[in-house]
Amino acid sequence: GAGVSQSPSNKVTEKGKDVELRCDPISGHTALYWYRQSLGQGLEFLIYFQGNSAPDKSGLPSDRFSAERTGGSVSTLTIQRTQQEDSAVYLCASSLDGPAPLHFGNGTRLTVT
Amino acid sequence: GQQVMQIPQYQHVQEGEDFTTYCNSSTTLSNIQWYKQRPGGHPVFLIQLVKSGEVKKQKRLTFQFGEAKKNSSLHITATQTTDVGTYFCAGVPGNQFYFGTGTSLTVIP
C-alpha cells in the first residue's frame, strides 16, 4: 500500500510569499502530525489532528502558520509571509490513532530566499 | 512542560564497537518509541515499548524501558556501517509524541 505522500518535495520561495504544503496520509489513519526539522536538528512538533476532534495547535510557532485537514484525510500546512527562518524540512506523519507508531512522509524541503 | 532529553548528541565509533543512546523523560510515559533517520531520509519506526522494565531485541539492537517508565535506552552490539544515522526516541504520555533531540551515530569502517 502507499505510504504518506507529501508535495512538493522541494519548494523555493521568496521572503514574504505564502506557501502551501500538502500531506496525503495512509488510508485509514485517523491521526496526522506535522513536524519541522531544521538542518541537523531534531523534530519540532507543529500541529496534530485526530479524527474529528479539534486539532492541537500548540506547536505552531506564530500566527503565520496554519493547517487544516479536510474530510479526515488530506492536510495542508500554510505559511503566510514566509521568513528566512522558516527554511526547513516539513515532515508529515500519520498513525492509526494517537499513540500508535508514526509513518513519516519524505518531507517538503522549504527554502526561503 | 513535557521534556524528553537524549544523550549523547553525537557518537563516533569504530565498526564493530558497541553503541548506546539514552532517553529521559520529565514525566511518566504510557509508551516510548524509537525511530531511525538515515542521512537525507525521514524517520522510520523501529520499536515501541509499553511495559515497565520491558526489554526487546531486534538482531543486534536491544531496547529497554525503565521501571519507572521515564527512561529508555537503545544499545547496538558490534556496529556496522549500515547503522549510520540519527536515532530518536519519542516519549508518548498520551496521544502526543515528544521527540528527543536525537543521537547522530557515525560508524568508522
What would the pLDDT profile of B45-93 be if each residue is shown by its tens digit?
A: 999 999 999 999 999 999 999 999 999 999 999 999 999 999 999 998 8
Residue A105 has pLDDT above 60, yes or no: yes
- List the single best residue of B7, B44, B97 to mutate versus A (max A Cβ within 10 A): B97
Is the minimum CB–CB distance between A105 and chain B shorter than 8 Å? yes
- The CA-based angle B33-B34-B37, given to 5 degrees, is 140
Interchain contact A99–B (C-beta under 8 A): yes
Q: B30 pLDDT exceeds 70?
A: yes
Position B62 scores a pLDDT of: 98
**pLDDT reported for residue A70:** 86
Strand partners, B40: none
Rounded to whole angstroms, how far apart are CA atoms B24 and B71? 4
Find the mean pLDDT for residues A82-104.
94
Q: What is the mean pLDDT of residues A15-44?
A: 94
φ/ψ of B81, rounded to 5, equals: -65, -25
Mean pLDDT of A53-76: 93
Contact B97, A102 (CB under 8 A): yes
Return the percentage of chain B with pLDDT > 70, whole number: 98
Whether the CB of B91 is below 8 Å from some CB of chain A: the reply is: no
Residue A99 has what pLDDT? 83
The reported pLDDT for the residue numbered A1 is 55
The pLDDT value recorded for residue B2 is: 67
Closest partner residue to B42 (CB to CB) among A48, A97, A107 is A107
B109, pLDDT greater than 90? yes
Contact residues, chain B, for A106 at CB < 8 Å: 41-42
Helix (H) or strand (E) holding A49, with range, is: strand A44-50
Mean pLDDT score across all residues of chain A: 94
Residue A45 to residue B102, Cβ atoms within 8 A? no
